[in-house]
Structure 1
Amino acid sequence: MRPADPHAWMLTQAIELLQGAHRLHRQFFQLGRSGDVPRWEPPVDMYGDEQMLCLLIALPGVTPERLDVRLEQQVLVVYGERSLAADFGSGTILQLEIPYGRFERRVPLPHADYAVADMLLQNGCLRLTLERES
């Protein structure tokens, strides 16, 4: 529904376009650190409290065998590869919006030492629970 004020409508449209551009930017391949291998970065949601952090990382089509998770000091590193679906058959690809190939995401963590308490890959998302170590 379009707001009555044209300036508010224009601002709403501009914000929606910027958000769309940001999503597209995150989907495109970016140069990796090792050997300039193309990589994409999956989006991450993070929330927590004084004792734990929960992260939800969107990894559509990634199998557990193609996934690696590491804690490197104050950074969570998630990397792996999403293969192009084998069931596309021999037809011509008309549209590819979900990124595939190698990916890597480095997530800086709040200042504390953490350990992985739980990890679940389900419905295209990796859910990680990190507990703060005493």
Structure 2
Amino acid sequence: MNDQIPVTVSERPVQESPLGWLRTEIDRLFDDFGGPARSIFTSGLSTMTPAPALELAEKENEYRLTAELPGLKEDDVEISIADGALTLSGEKHEEDERKDNGFLLRERRYGAFERRVPLPADVNQDAINAEFKHGVLTIVLPKDAQAAERTRKIAITAAS
């Protein structure tokens, strides 16, 4: 009688060598090809279109969220706020046509992205503004001065 029970492993084992790690990452890439994106901040994004890199930095009176969006214009990007989260989405349409020595080369590239970032509780949502310059989007999220006043400590009583 066979006492072994088949086990299904959902994650690959951790590789100790750099080449083992690389092999695992390449296998994961091919396993995920065409599937949904893994990031909790992405939605409706295939693995063929990478989500833009984001950086959130805190300053004394504001937060600054920057997104690298090379090749896009401000008309290609949309920013919205709902349910305490900022959603950054965009779409790129690029077409190139060249004729040379009787040959026609036509290239089309399309891609869409969406990133959803939970906002800190002390952001003044009515004063948010954004600037787009040289492929970098900077969103300024001012802090709400009264946010600290709305915070209160709750007393705990002992149950008898």
TM range (shorter): 0.5 to 0.7
- The 8 Å contact of residues 40 and 104 in structure 1, kept in 2 or not, is answered as no
The answer as to 2:129 corresponding to 1:118 is yes
Determine the C-alpha separation between the residues in 1 that align with 2:136 and 2:51.
Answer: 13
* Partner AA of 1:53 in structure 2: Y
Determine the C-alpha separation between the residues in 1 that align with 2:141 and 2:111.
Answer: 27
Count of aligned positions:
111
RMSD (Å), alpha carbons: 3.7
Aligned to 1:5: none
Aligned to 2:105: 91
Q: 1:101 to 1:48 in 2, by over 3 A?
A: same
Report the alpha carbon displacement of residue 130 of structure 1 after superposing the two structures with TM.
Answer: 0.9
Alignment of 1:54-73 (within 5 A): 54-73=64-83
Report the alpha carbon displacement of residue 132 of structure 1 after superposing the two structures with TM.
Answer: 1.7
The answer as to 2:96 corresponding to 1:82 is no
Report the alpha carbon displacement of residue 50 of structure 1 after superposing the two structures with TM.
Answer: 4.8
Per residue, is there more helix in 1 or in 2? 1
Secondary structure, aligned partner of 2:105: coil
Runs of 4+ in 1 over 4 A off after TM superposition: 28-33, 36-40
Under a length normalisation based on structure 1, what TM-score does the superposition of the two structures give? 0.60
Structure 1 stretches lacking a partner, 5+ long: 1-9, 94-98
Under a length normalisation based on structure 2, what TM-score does the superposition of the two structures give? 0.52
Secondary structure, aligned partner of 1:83: strand
Aligned to 2:144: 133
- The 8 Å contact of residues 73 and 113 in structure 1, kept in 2 or not, is answered as no
CA deviations on 1:68-110 (whole Å, 9 max, x unpaired) are 11122321111120112x33535376xxxxx841110111222
- Indicate the structure (1 or 2) with the bigger Cα radius of gyration: 2
Identity, % of aligned pairs? 23
